[in-house]
Amino acid sequence: MQQLSQERMPIYEALERFKQMRVVPFDVPGHKHGKGNPELTRFLGEQCVSVDVNSMKPLDNLIHPVSVIKDAEELAAEAFGAAHAFFMVGGTTSAVQGMVLSVSKKGDKIILPRNVHRSVINALVLCGAEPVYVNPEVDTRLGISLGMSLAQVEQAIRENPDAVAILVNNPTYYGICSDLCGIVKLAHAHGIKVLADEAHGTHFYFGKDLPVSAMAAGADMAAVSMHKSGGSLTQSSILLTGPAMNAGYVRQIINLTQTTSGSYLLLSSLDISRRNLALRGEAVFAQVAALAQYARNEINAIGDYDAFSKELINGDSVFDFDVTKLSVHTLDIGLAGVEVYDLLRDEYDIQIEFGDIGNILAYVSLGDSRQNVERLVSALSEVRRLYRQDKAGMLTQEYISPQVVTTPQHAFYAEKESLPLEKTEGRVCSEFVMCYPPGIPVLAPGERITRDILDYIAYAKEKGCSMTGPEDLEIKHLNVLKGV
């Protein structure tokens, strides 16, 4: 066998060998290399459906890798500077849940910011761990949550010395980074594991002059969305672990929820993308950072928009900033971010990542060009010229501190009743409400419903935010705990 190097793509190479074997398939999937579903084959192409195959000895098995998947994961671990890497085909949601479930069980405490992705709180519903929230500081002008303050983390540890882990969003959707090295040092001094939701930080491992990566900072686990800034297919992700984690146990945890039928389309895309980043990542992300900076300069020259960046750094709650994130504050043109988001899509055929109450995020990555950025800048200039209005009366606050009454697991499974939204004030919610993207809950199970939250939900709906989470898809009713 050839020696492993970052030039290699073990899964891709195995699939190429498999195609040359002209195997007659009497296994699943039932489309049999596309022959049984001609419409699908025409749509996706024969090249694609011919490698949508089942696990078999020559191709290894994701739940117990011993050959080509094992090799590909070892190459990924080396590329990311981790002790182990696990390929995930259930998205970074699955990787985040794998982290939380690997370090905690019912009754354990986890310190985390409240502005986490719903996947974190979903994991708490599954395992019964208790969240200890460090409420993030908020930039009131931009209406965005900042990172975790080191002093707040220290206070949380002092008040909860029995906590088993700290989870950090790094970076946030907007590009805000916490003092990850400081948090790791503090946590490890108290015997506490550090988990990083690094969904938006794949490029930290390969670019120069970018914020520190979780593995370089000494974190114990990190969930990395290769499909976001790393170029792999949607739903493919990597879970990284440091040397202090028991890799065999982590694999067992992953196998509790991850499919036994791992998609070779997703797995090969991880393999191919890892090679691309390992060989060319530094140059690629230098170009991405330069393109994002060019866009920021051009957008700020329009007037009224604020494409913010490193000027936010304060050495604590904004310890660093991810310059590849093109986050733009829109309230000074009198439009909510989601209204700009809708205008860009409906009037200019430009699909950005998301818009919230006061900001938009245009995701700039390795597939972008200067021409596309110029089209975005031109459209934003025209939006300002045609749709600018008085910003009086616009909501600015994006984050509302929760009133936690009980654990997410207890609230999710407790006896509940459905009430009209306006009649839920003061009650304890038993489900999620969030704008998606970014998927950060406005309400999570176990939290008290306040007037501020109800006003926020009404305002977000009015402005056109995509609200998700509750059983009632129209969000006219909410499930609340009975008698609480």
How many other C-beta atoms can be found within 10 angstroms of the C-beta atom of residue 244?
A: 12
- Please tell me the predicted confidence (pLDDT) of residue 30: 94
- Count CB-CB contacts under 10 A for residue 150: 18
pLDDT of residue 466: 83
Q: What percent of the chain has pLDDT over 70?
A: 99
Q: Give the pLDDT confidence of 439-479 residue by residue, as tens digits.
A: 788 899 999 999 999 998 988 888 888 888 999 988 999 99
Between vectors from CA 306 to CA 358 and to CA 355, what angle results, nearest 5°?
30
Q: Would you identify the CATH topology of the domain 408-481?
A: Molybdopterin biosynthesis moea protein, domain 2 (3.90.105)
C-alpha to C-alpha distance for 286 and 201, rounded to whole angstroms? 14
**Residue-by-residue DSSP string for 223-291:** EE-HHHHS---TT-EEEEE-TTS-HHHHHHHHHHHS-SS--HHHHHHHHHHHHHHHHHHHHHHHHHHHH
Please report the pLDDT score of residue 60 as a whole number: 97
Is pLDDT above 80 for 1?
no
Pick the CATH number of 10-278 from 3.50.50.60, 3.20.10.10, 3.40.50.300, 3.40.640.10: 3.40.640.10
- Map tokens 């430009």 to a residue: 350
Q: Any bridge partners for residue 326, and if so which?
A: 362
Q: Does 434 score more than 90 pLDDT?
A: no
Cα 217 versus chain centre, distance: 19
* Higher per-residue pLDDT: 391 or 216: 216
Average pLDDT, stretch 104-111?
97
Q: According to CATH, where is 3.90.105.10 located in the chain?
A: 408-481
d(CA 93, CA 389): 39
Check residue 397 and give its pLDDT.
63
In this predicted structure, the answer to whether residue 309 has a pLDDT above a threshold of 50 is yes
Task: Give the predicted TM-score (pTM) of the model.
Answer: 0.94
Inform me whether the pLDDT recorded for 398 exceeds 90: no
Q: What is the largest CA-CA distance in the chain?
A: 68
> What mean pLDDT is predicted for residues 348-363?
95
The residues with which 168 forms a beta bridge, in sequence order, are 196
Q: Which fold has domain 281-387?
A: Aspartate Aminotransferase, domain 1 (3.90.1150)
* H-type alpha helices, 24-66: 38-44, 46-49
Number of neighbouring beta carbons within 10 Å of residue 315: 9
48 — pLDDT class (breaks 50, 70, 90): very high
Segment 471-477 long-range contacts (CB within 8 Å, at least 24 positions apart): 471/418, 471/431, 472/418, 475/421, 475/433, 476/420, 476/421, 477/418, 477/419, 477/420, 477/421
Residues 200-213: pLDDT tens digits? 999 999 999 999 99
**In terms of Cα–Cα distance, which of 84, 76, 85, 25 is closest to 49?**
25
CA–CA gap between residue 70 and residue 185 (Å, rounded): 31
Which whole number is the average pLDDT over 337-352?
97
Q: Is the pLDDT of residue 123 over 70?
A: yes
Where does the chain hold its CATH 3.40.640.10 domain(s)?
Answer: 10-278
| Share above pLDDT 90 across residues of the chain, in percent, rounded to a whole number | 87
What would the pLDDT profile of 189-198 be if each residue is shown by its tens digit? 999 999 999 9
* Ranges for all domains in the chain classified under CATH 3.90.1150.10: 281-387
Q: What is the pLDDT confidence band of residue 140, given thresholds at 50, 70 and 90?
A: confident
Neighbours of 311 (CB within 10 A): 9
- With beta carbons less than 8 A apart as the criterion, state whether 204 and 230 touch: no
Greatest mean pLDDT among 24-33, 397-406, 429-438 lies in 24-33
